[in-house]
C-alpha cells in the first residue's frame, strides 16, 4: 500500500469531499495525522465530516486543481508525508474495479436491466 512504502508519518490528499473523507478514515485507523486540501467549493457538511475523522481540512484554491497544487507544495516540504491521490492512481482503479465483482456476487446470477452509479467527482470513471 502507499502507507507501507517507506517511513510514513503523515498523509496528504486533495479532494472535493469523498476521497478526503476516505483518507481521513484510513489515517485514523493507522494513527497518522491527515491534511486534506479542499477548494472553496467544498460543501461545509463534507469538510465537517472530514474533520470528524480527525483530519485537518485546509481550504486552498477555488477548484480541485488549485487545492491539489497546494497539497503537492506541502508534500514537497515534508519527506515523511505520503500523497494519497483521490483518483489518479492504478491502485485506486484496481480497488474501484472490485466493486463490479462485489455487485455480481451480491446479485447471485441475476442480470440487471440497468445499473445507476453515483460517481461524485468522477474518480470512479477513471
* pLDDT at residue 126 greater than cutoff 60: no
Say if residues 51 and 35 touch (Cβ distance below 8 Å).
no
Residue 110 is given by DSSP the state: P
pLDDT bucket at 45, cuts 50 / 70 / 90: very high
> Could you tell me which residues come within 8 angstroms of residue 5 by beta carbon, excluding any fewer than 6 positions away?
82
The DSSP bridge partners found for residue 38 are 59
> Could you tell me which residues come within 8 angstroms of residue 8 by beta carbon, excluding any fewer than 6 positions away?
2, 32, 80, 81, 82
Average pLDDT estimate for 63-85: 94
Which has more confidence, 12 or 98? Answer: 12
Amino acid at each position: 500500500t502507499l502507507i507501507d512504502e517507506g517511513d510514513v508519518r503523515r498523509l496528504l490528499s486533495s479532494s472535493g469531499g469523498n476521497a478526503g473523507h476516505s483518507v481521513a478514515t484510513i489515517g485514523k485507523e493507522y494513527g497518522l495525522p491527515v491534511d486534506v486540501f479542499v477548494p472553496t467549493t467544498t460543501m461545509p457538511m463534507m469538510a465537517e465530516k472530514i474533520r470528524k475523522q480527525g483530519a485537518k481540512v485546509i481550504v486552498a484554491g477555488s477548484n480541485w486543481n488549485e487545492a491539489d497544487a497546494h497539497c503537492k507544495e506541502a508534500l514537497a516540504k515534508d519527506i515523511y508525508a505520503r500523497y494519497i491521490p483521490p483518483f489518479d492512481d492504478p491502485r485506486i482503479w484496481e480497488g474501484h474495479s472490485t466493486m463490479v465483482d462485489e455487485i455480481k456476487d451480491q446479485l447471485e446470477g441475476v442480470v440487471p436491466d440497468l445499473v445507476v452509479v453515483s460517481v461524485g467527482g468522477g474518480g470512479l470513471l477513471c
